[in-house]
């Protein structure tokens, strides 16, 4: 990943996480330009095989995001955030990202629950997902 693409990814992550922490919203202003840039980068720099992998990954991620949204476990912004993060990660690192995201999200949820005593308090998912994504960037 080039320096410019990493910078775009870091600006997207920073803006999304900060607005999610402050307002419990991930604005499309952060997501769509980063998603479009990441897709264009992957399309222009990847092989046909990598593009098929990317398409399969995006279908799985979007389906999972829709299920989480339908169950009320995540907002629409969380799904768009996750989709954008997956565009920037190499397909070989997605398993590690998923494992790290699961552990970090569970830890964050437990910490919020223990601190507030409220199991239903909304958790800004962009923070643990963003940290898990940063762990995968090379």
**Contact between residue 84 and residue 35 where contact means Cβ atoms under 8 Å apart:** yes
| The pLDDT of residue 68 | 80
Length of the chain counted residue by residue: 138
How high is the mean pLDDT in each 10-residue block of the chain (138 residues)? 89 94 91 93 84 86 85 82 89 86 88 84 85 88
pTM for the full model? 0.83
DSSP 35-64: HHHHHHHHHHHS-HHHHHHHHHHHHHHHHH
The per-residue pLDDT for 119 is: 76
Q: What are the Cα distances from residue 82, in Å, to 41, 113, 118, 131?
A: 17, 23, 25, 12
Q: How far is CA 101 from CA 51, 76, 117, in A?
A: 24, 18, 23
Residue 123 backbone phi and psi in degrees, to 5: -110, 125
pLDDT at 56: 86
Q: What pLDDT is attached to residue 85?
A: 92
Nearest to 46 by CA among 94, 99, 74, 88: 88
């Amino acid at each position: 990943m080039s320096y410019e693409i990493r910078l775009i990814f870091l600006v997207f992550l920073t803006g999304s996480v900060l607005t999610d922490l402050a307002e419990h919203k991930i604005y499309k202003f952060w997501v769509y330009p980063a998603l479009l840039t990441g897709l264009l980068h992957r399309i222009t720099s990847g092989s046909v095989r990598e593009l098929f992998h990317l398409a399969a990954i995006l279908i799985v991620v979007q389906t999972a995001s829709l299920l989480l949204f339908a169950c009320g476990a995540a907002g629409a912004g969380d799904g768009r955030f996750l989709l954008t993060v997956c565009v920037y990660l190499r397909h070989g690192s997605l398993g590690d990202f998923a494992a790290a995201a699961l552990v970090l999200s569970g830890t964050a949820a437990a910490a919020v629950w223990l601190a507030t005593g409220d199991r239903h308090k909304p958790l800004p998912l962009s923070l643990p997902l963003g940290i898990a994504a940063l762990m995968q960037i090379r």
